[in-house]
Structure 1
Amino acid sequence: MSRLDTAEPEPPSAPRPAEAPTATPRPAAFLDRDGTLNVEVGYAHRPDQISWIDGAVAAIRRLNRAGWWVIVITNQAGVAYGYYDEETVRALHRWMTADLAARGARVDAFYYCPHHATRGLGRYRVACDCRKPGPGLLRQAMADFPVDPARSFILGDKPSDGAAGHALGIAGHLYRGGDLDTLVSRLMAESGA
């Protein structure tokens, strides 16, 4: 399980973001990356492969303005398969952070799983708790940030995304296309936050 804070480009073991989490729990939007925030291209690992889903940047800005944590939770089996390394994932997340900042939006942290239980190579061939549908990445994010799980949600393009949230009492929702901002606005209203 790995984490990258977006306040400063640091290694996964870095301390919390510069905007330190407060003691008061806040709702969080746990967002899948590929197929939810950016168009799915199959093992995206370079900036030229990133095209934001319609409404994705606006949705993140909406969440930021409302005081929600915005946390990306992503499986990155491409690392396990040897297609690219973990530094490549972190570099892409730093680029995404900068691109979003230029558009007035902020992701508070990226968490990714580089493992695969059956097809992983070497040390990445691990049956882990952090690969969705396992809840490990969300559990770690909730240890790092004061999250109110009852008012939070996870949104992704696969049933495994929602299953990760359900394991921790977080509402899971499936993104099936369309304007992401419209969907996030509705989910925020339904959360009661």
Structure 2
Amino acid sequence: MPAAAMPDDPSQAQHSRRRAAFFDRDGVLNEDVGFAHRPDQIIWMPGAREAVKRLNDAGFLVFVVTNQAGVARGLYSEEHVRTLHRWMQQELRAVRAHVDAFYHCPHHPEHGQPPYRADCACRKPEPGMLLQAMAEWPVERKGSFLIGDRDTDLQAAQRAGIDATLYRGGDLDAVVAGILARSMRGSEKR
């Protein structure tokens, strides 16, 4: 089961359904430096914080879904992951943005010891983290999407029944603006 952290208001599940944006973390929101687990290792990707704010302002739920095999490998703990996510949330709030919930998978099928050495339904390309967010929050699948930097991210989105975009670097806010513009054009055609 994926680990979730810090939903701002899970009671929002009682409200009407909303589109959601799912972000992979390392390589999308921040540079992938290999097993990042401390704030001093985080270098935000260009336009990352602005992209989250754009989605917040557009009424999207925003989630981070990240494989964290460093936990299974014994490089850091789940508390390190949660602490880093709290710091990232503070950084986002400084620009009036927020992530509704962070989900991480601490498992790996070949490394570590139980309970972390495990085949699980949450490690991407499996869709477990996305499905958990969809169960815990009022997510409207139609119009929801994931942005990831690996094929496993895109496969998880496909298995969860949402669109996906492969991020190859550059201004993440421009990527999100393009997705939203295409979405608006598509809804106008109906």
TM-score between both structures, scaled by the size of structure 1: 0.91
Structure 2 contact 10–136 (Cα < 8 Å) conserved: no
Structure 2 contact 122–129 (Cα < 8 Å) conserved: yes
For residues 84-163 of structure 1, the aligned pairs below 5 Å read 84-163=76-155
* Residues 149 and 18 of structure 1: CA distance in aligned 2, closer, same or farther (over 3 Å): closer
Residues 113-150 of structure 1, C-alpha deviations (whole Å, 9 max, x = no match): 00001113231011001000000000000001111111
Structure 2 contact 25–65 (Cα < 8 Å) conserved: yes
Q: CA deviation at 1:172?
A: 1.2
* Residues 108 and 156 of structure 1: CA distance in aligned 2, closer, same or farther (over 3 Å): same
Q: What count of residue pairs does the alignment treat as equivalent?
A: 184
Q: CA deviation at 1:55?
A: 0.4
Structure 1 contact 4–111 (Cα < 8 Å) conserved: yes
Amino acid at match of 1:150: K
Residues 8-29 of structure 1, C-alpha deviations (whole Å, 9 max, x = no match): xxxxxxxxx2673443111100
For residues 182-193 of structure 1, the aligned pairs below 5 Å read 182-192=174-184
**Which residue number in structure 1 is paired with residue 23 of structure 2?**
31
SS of alignment partner, residue 150 of structure 1: coil
Please, which of 156, 159, 168 is the counterpart of residue 164 of structure 1?
Answer: 156
Residues 57-110 of structure 1, C-alpha deviations (whole Å, 9 max, x = no match): 110010000100000000000000000000010000011111111121100000
Q: Which has the higher contact order (CA 8 A, sep 6+)?
A: 2
Where structure 1 has 5 or more consecutive residues not aligned to the other structure, the ranges are 8-16
Where structure 2 has 5 or more consecutive residues not aligned to the other structure, the ranges are none
Q: Check if 1:175 corresponds to 2:167.
A: yes
Structure 1 contact 6–94 (Cα < 8 Å) conserved: no
Distance of 1:153 and 1:144 partners within structure 2: 17
SS of alignment partner, residue 20 of structure 1: helix
Q: What RMSD, in angstroms, separates the aligned Cα atoms of the two structures?
A: 1.4
Structure 1 contact 100–106 (Cα < 8 Å) conserved: yes
Distance of 2:97 and 2:54 partners within structure 1: 9
Distance of 2:164 and 2:7 partners within structure 1: 24
Distance of 1:19 and 1:129 partners within structure 2: 25
**Which residue number in structure 2 is paired with residue 45 of structure 1?**
37
Aligned sequence identity (%): 52
TM-score between both structures, scaled by the size of structure 2: 0.93
